[in-house]
């Protein structure tokens, strides 16, 4: 009897595995019903939740798998849009295997938002044979490409991104096309990166004609021109690189992007041996880069003397640019040798491009194991410490520089989280936001994610930390994080 029970359990587990990873199964009736309910909802999550729960109750009572599949698709759609609105029930896939394009796509989105990229890619791939609609196939190809990119499988990412364009460029957004340029740059192919950056700008102009608002247009065009200029610089085309840079507006920055623009400005300044690229937008750079002063010091070092508040504290007779220009390369941020990608056959990849490519994608990935405050405790205190760091740098006193930088980092309140669970980089950043008292909207802006993604990650964090629905994750974080 015991052997029989074990055998039945093994068969059940095997059935679950084969159900999850079997060939895709179409279910036209389920797809039709899910689309009809979504159309009736007119974007109302409350409506989808009410109807999904009603259908689930009816499906359980009647033992009707199609009704349960429809209900699960509706509830999953509502949950991924606002995870705080409901507790997502499970679908018994032993009794009712997953079938239908709409349900599989919802599961793929769910897995992607929670960071299980392999499973997300699996479900998106399962969806492809179930639709002939060009827009759906283009969207799925983009999703698969993004899963590959975030797993650092860049060649596969480019393949799927380029495949998405075969269904019609008009079906993609400009930023989706920009993904191809960014990953091409990460692979060290500036020629292909430039081609797709130009295609992205052309598509963005079409979107403007289709009703894209002016503010979004300007910000997205700045992102595209950033890659334009970088690609020309890598190819040694200095006039074209400066022309693209001159077209930047920089009236505002998307979260986390200001440092990328400043890095380009520094690289151009050294390439043409003139501070003009930095000076052209120094007010915008100063306003945004100082918001993460520790990160700026770590990345740009003495080149920050070109910007406020560092510039106004300069007391020497010679200009900051003259001093910086005379420094050896090992004291400067990574620069670009113009023309190094002009011969694509000699390139072996570009770490700088890989860093830049992170900007364009849905999910920003960080690898911090420390809790970092984005804002200094007091502006005056941070300014004083930055002055000490700068003085030590200019004096060439490595020991004093390390000591001053350590004081600065301590003042900015770095403290390790005491965790006994494994968290993704995104989940760690969400905990950082909770510790700093951020609202979900503020965390979303800082990480360049949607608010619903933040809520979903908060729910997943509560599950991993074994907190009940009544427990406050804010109280848990404040209790677990050591005080400075």
Which of 144-153, 312-321, 458-467, 474-483 is predicted with the least confidence, judged by mean pLDDT? 312-321
What's the domain count of the chain? 3
The CATH number linked to 457 is 1.10.10.10
Mean pLDDT of the chain: 77
pLDDT, tens only, 330-356: 667 777 767 666 654 444 455 444 444
pLDDT, tens only, 39-75: 999 889 899 999 999 999 999 999 999 999 999 999 9
- pLDDT value of position 424: 76
Instruction: Flag whether 345 is in a domain.
Output: yes
Q: Please, what is the angle between helix 473-480 and helix 451-464, to 10°?
A: 60
Instruction: Flag whether 404 is in a domain.
Output: no
Instruction: Flag whether 49 is in a domain.
Output: yes
Highest mean pLDDT among 233-242, 386-395, 416-425: 233-242
- pLDDT value of position 329: 74
Mean pLDDT of all residues in 314-323: 63
DSSP β-bridge partners for residue 415:
371
The answer on 469 and 348 residing in a single domain is no
Q: Does the pLDDT of residue 369 top 60, yes or no?
A: no
- pLDDT value of position 364: 34
The answer on 355 and 230 residing in a single domain is yes
- pLDDT value of position 135: 93
Mean pLDDT of all residues in 459-465: 80
Q: Does the pLDDT of residue 37 top 90, yes or no?
A: yes
Tokens of 454: 């933040």
Exposed (0-12), middle (13-18) or buried (19+): which is 295, by Cβ within 10 Å? middle
- Among candidate residues 360, 382, 397, the one where a domain is terminated: 360
Please give the Cα distance from 109 to 473 (Å, whole number): 25
Give the DSSP letter of residue 171.
Answer: G
- pLDDT value of position 87: 86
- pLDDT value of position 380: 52
Instruction: Flag whether 111 is in a domain.
Output: yes
Mean pLDDT of all residues in 212-237: 91
Instruction: Flag whether 32 is in a domain.
Output: yes
The answer on 321 and 246 residing in a single domain is yes
Instruction: Flag whether 368 is in a domain.
Output: no
The answer on 236 and 312 residing in a single domain is yes
- pLDDT value of position 292: 66
pLDDT, greater one: 345 or 137: 137
Which of 175-189, 385-399, 423-437 is predicted with the least confidence, judged by mean pLDDT? 385-399
- Do the Cβ atoms of 410 and 389 come closer than 8 Å? no
Tokens of 402: 């390390």
The answer on 164 and 241 residing in a single domain is yes
Mean pLDDT of all residues in 357-369: 34
Q: Does the pLDDT of residue 436 top 70, yes or no?
A: yes
pLDDT, greater one: 269 or 306: 269
Instruction: Flag whether 13 is in a domain.
Output: no
The answer on 161 and 124 residing in a single domain is no
The answer on 165 and 118 residing in a single domain is no
Q: Does the pLDDT of residue 248 top 80, yes or no?
A: yes
- pLDDT tier, 17 (very low <50, low <70, confident <90, very high otherwise): very low
HSE of 161 in the Cβ direction (CA atoms, 13 Å)? 29
pLDDT, tens only, 180-210: 998 998 888 999 999 999 999 999 999 999 9
The answer on 451 and 315 residing in a single domain is no
Q: Does the pLDDT of residue 470 top 70, yes or no?
A: no
- Contacts of residues 174-179 at CB distance under 8 Å and 24 or more positions apart, as own/partner, are 174/200, 174/201, 174/203, 174/204, 174/207, 174/220, 174/224, 175/200, 175/220, 175/223, 175/360, 176/142, 177/203, 178/223, 178/224, 178/227, 178/360, 179/142, 179/145, 179/146, 179/149, 179/360, 179/361
Q: Does the pLDDT of residue 465 top 90, yes or no?
A: no
- pLDDT value of position 20: 43
The answer on 168 and 109 residing in a single domain is no
The answer on 331 and 200 residing in a single domain is yes
Please give the Cα distance from 305 to 279 (Å, whole number): 12
- pLDDT tier, 108 (very low <50, low <70, confident <90, very high otherwise): very high
In angstroms, what CA-CA distances link 64 with 71, 78, 88, 474? 11, 22, 19, 41
- Do the Cβ atoms of 335 and 306 come closer than 8 Å? no
Q: Model's pTM, two decimal places?
A: 0.60
Most distant CA pair in the chain: distance in Å?
92
The answer on 259 and 173 residing in a single domain is yes
Please give the Cα distance from 439 to 84 (Å, whole number): 14
- pLDDT value of position 84: 82
The answer on 480 and 345 residing in a single domain is no
Instruction: Flag whether 336 is in a domain.
Output: yes
- pLDDT tier, 302 (very low <50, low <70, confident <90, very high otherwise): confident
Give the DSSP letter of residue 215.
Answer: H
- Do the Cβ atoms of 192 and 179 come closer than 8 Å? no
- Do the Cβ atoms of 364 and 443 come closer than 8 Å? no
- Do the Cβ atoms of 417 and 480 come closer than 8 Å? yes
Q: Is 35 left (phi over 0), alpha (psi -120 to 50) or beta?
A: alpha
Tokens of 144: 């698969």
pLDDT, greater one: 356 or 460: 460
Q: Which residue stretches of 273-342 are H helix?
A: 276-280, 282-289, 293-300, 320-325
Instruction: Compute how many other C-beta atoms are within 10 angstroms of the C-beta atom of residue 368.
Output: 11
- pLDDT value of position 55: 95
pLDDT, greater one: 167 or 353: 167
Among residues of the chain, what percentage have pLDDT more than 70? Answer: 72
- pLDDT tier, 116 (very low <50, low <70, confident <90, very high otherwise): confident
Provide φ and ψ at 144, rounded to 5°.
-65, -45
Q: Does the pLDDT of residue 317 top 60, yes or no?
A: no
Give the DSSP letter of residue 63.
Answer: T
Q: Does the pLDDT of residue 387 top 90, yes or no?
A: no
Reported as type and span, the H/E element at residue 236 is none
For 415, the 3-state DSSP assignment is: strand
Per the structure, the complete domain to which residue 295 belongs is given by: 154-360
Mean pLDDT of all residues in 454-479: 77
Q: Does the pLDDT of residue 9 top 60, yes or no?
A: no
Geometric angle at alpha carbon 476, from 472 and 479, rounded to 5°? 140
CA nearest neighbour of 125 among 38, 15, 21: 21
Q: Does the pLDDT of residue 415 top 80, yes or no?
A: no
Instruction: Compute how many other C-beta atoms are within 10 angstroms of the C-beta atom of residue 107.
Output: 24
CA nearest neighbour of 244 among 273, 258, 259, 224: 224
pLDDT, greater one: 159 or 252: 159
- pLDDT value of position 416: 45
Residue whose entry in the numeric block shows the structure tokens 């190094």? 340
């Amino acid at each position: 009897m015991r052997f029989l029970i074990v055998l039945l359990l093994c068969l059940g587990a095997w059935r679950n595995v084969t159900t999850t990873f079997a060939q895709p199964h179409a279910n036209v009736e389920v797809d039709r019903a899910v689309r009809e309910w979504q159309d009736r909802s007119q974007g109302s999550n409350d409506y989808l939740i009410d109807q999904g729960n009603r259908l689930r109750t009816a499906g359980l009572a009647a033992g009707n798998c199609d009704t349960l599949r429809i209900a699960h698709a509706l509830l999953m759609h509502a949950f991924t849009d606002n995870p705080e609105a409901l507790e997502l029930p499970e679908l018994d896939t032993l009794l009712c295997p997953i079938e239908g394009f709409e349900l599989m796509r919802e599961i793929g989105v769910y897995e992607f938002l929670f960071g299980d990229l392999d499973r997300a890619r699996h479900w998106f791939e399962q969806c492809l044979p179930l639709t002939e609609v060009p827009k759906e196939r283009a969207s799925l190809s983009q999703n698969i490409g993004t899963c590959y990119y975030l797993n650092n499988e860049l060649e596969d990412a480019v393949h799927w991104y380029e495949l998405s364009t075969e269904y019609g460029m008009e079906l993609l957004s400009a930023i989706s096309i920009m993904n191809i340029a960014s990953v091409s740059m990460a692979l060290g192919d500036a020629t292909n990166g430039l081609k797709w950056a130009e295609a992205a700008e052309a598509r963005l102009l079409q979107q403007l004609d289709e009703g894209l608002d002016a503010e979004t247009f300007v910000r997205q065009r700045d992102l595209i021109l950033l890659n334009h200029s970088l690609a020309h610089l890598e190819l040694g085309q200095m006039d074209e690189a400066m022309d693209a840079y001159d077209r930047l507006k920089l009236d505002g920055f998307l979260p986390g992007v200001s440092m990328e623009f400043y890095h380009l400005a520094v690289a151009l300044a050294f390439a043409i041996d003139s501070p003009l690229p930095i000076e052209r937008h120094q007010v915008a750079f100063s306003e945004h880069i100082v918001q993460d002063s520790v990160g700026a010091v770590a990345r740009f070092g003495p080149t920050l003397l070109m910007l406020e508040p560092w510039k106004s504290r300069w007391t020497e007779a010679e200009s900051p640019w003259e001093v910086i220009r005379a420094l050896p390369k090992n004291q400067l941020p990574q620069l670009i040798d113009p023309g190094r990608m002009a011969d694509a056959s000699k390139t072996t990849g570009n770490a700088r491009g890989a860093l830049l490519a992170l900007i364009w994608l849905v999910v920003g990935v960080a690898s911090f194991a420390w809790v970092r405050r984005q804002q200094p405790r007091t502006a005056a205190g941070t300014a004083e410490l930055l002055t000490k760091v700068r003085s030590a740098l200019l004096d060439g006193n490595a020991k004093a520089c390390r000591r001053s930088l350590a004081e600065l980092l301590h003042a900015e309140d770095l403290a390790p989280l005491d965790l006994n669970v494994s968290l993704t980089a995104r989940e760690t950043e969400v905990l950082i936001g909770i510790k700093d008292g951020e609202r979900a909207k503020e965390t979303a802006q800082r990480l360049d994610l949607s608010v619903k993604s933040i809520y979903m990650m908060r729910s997943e964090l509560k599950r991993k930390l074994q907190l009940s629905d009544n427990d406050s994750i804010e109280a848990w974080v404040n209790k677990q994080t050591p005080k400075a």
